[in-house]
Amino acid sequence: MNDFQNDCSDYAASPTNAVVKPPPPPADDLRTLLHGTLVSTLARTDFRKRLLDCELATDHAAPAHGEAAFTLLCTHILNSLTEGPEIDIASALIRFSDDPLCQLAALQTVARSLGEAWCTDSTDFASLTAAVSRLQSALHKSSSAFPAQSVSHHCPSVHFVLPVGETHRFATALVEEHFRIRGWRTELHFSNHHHDLKQVLVTERPNLVCLSWSDTRLKPSVNELLEILSEHRHKDTLLIAGGPATLEKIDWLFKRGVDNVFSDTYLALECAEMHIAKITKRIGGQ
């Protein structure tokens, strides 16, 4: 679920009297990173099928369709975030497709490209923060139009937990939206609310708890969370984890009681729904 996570030393200014070939602007690196992320996103056959009805107006006579339209949309959004001019991202998403999963995929693709840019020093903190803030606003605006399945008390529930100090929350918001669209009841908890979390685990018995963790320096806080979850979660509550830090600490997480670790939102959803089907079948057979 990394779809949630410096100054560019390569672009340090040269002396004004030096004759050097100027380095490529950061936007070029960002577009390269976007291309790699697009390849990963479009590798899913089921997602490519969803894109068949999508289209996007272009400067040419004919609009772009399918994968070409998705690529163009992500490029437009990234350009808007890094170079300008600004566009209404939420409106662009809605015009592109009425399929909320296609809209979320575009936001995830751009966000992952920005995250990789940060990891490779191709963007700075201020630019990254501003870009993610605009993506967050676009998600909030576009998600209000997402046709979620009817959610009731009997629907499966997922609780997202974040350690104290976790600042990379946009990826968690995207994953939460995926679950909401699929008809899940979703809640978000921060580990400084230990009492509330204990009460939820005991009284509500959520079907799924998802730990979202991006910074390995927050391991002590994560350890506290895992102790609470180990002591208070119901035996039928599945515990999964996602985020850059979880991929670095997989063995440790398994030893601490985590059932599975995911770097892919869709695989996490599949696992969660298989868990619900298994529990439902077992209860129905009693």
C-alpha Rg value of the chain to the nearest Å: 21
The reported pLDDT for the residue numbered 271 is: 94
Query: Once rounded to an integer, what is the mean pLDDT over residues 63-77?
Result: 89
Q: What is the domain partition of the chain in residue ranges?
A: 22-143, 157-284
The reported pLDDT for the residue numbered 46 is: 80
Quick check: 162 and 226 in contact, CB under 8 A? no
Task: Specify the CATH number for 157-284; select among 3.40.190.10, 3.40.50.2300, 3.40.50.11720, 3.40.50.280.
Answer: 3.40.50.280
The mean of the pLDDT values for the chain is 81
- Greater confidence, 198 or 20? 198
- Greater confidence, 273 or 4? 273
The reported pLDDT for the residue numbered 276 is: 94
137-151, pLDDT tens digit by residue?
999 888 877 665 555
* Buried/exposed 18-45: b ≥16 CB within 10 Å, e otherwise: eeeeeeeebbebbbbbbeebbeebbeee
- Greater confidence, 8 or 29? 29
Q: Is the pLDDT of residue 5 over 60?
A: no
Rounded distance between C-alpha atoms, residue 105 and residue 241, angstroms: 20
The reported pLDDT for the residue numbered 255 is: 95
The reported pLDDT for the residue numbered 192 is: 66
The reported pLDDT for the residue numbered 59 is: 67
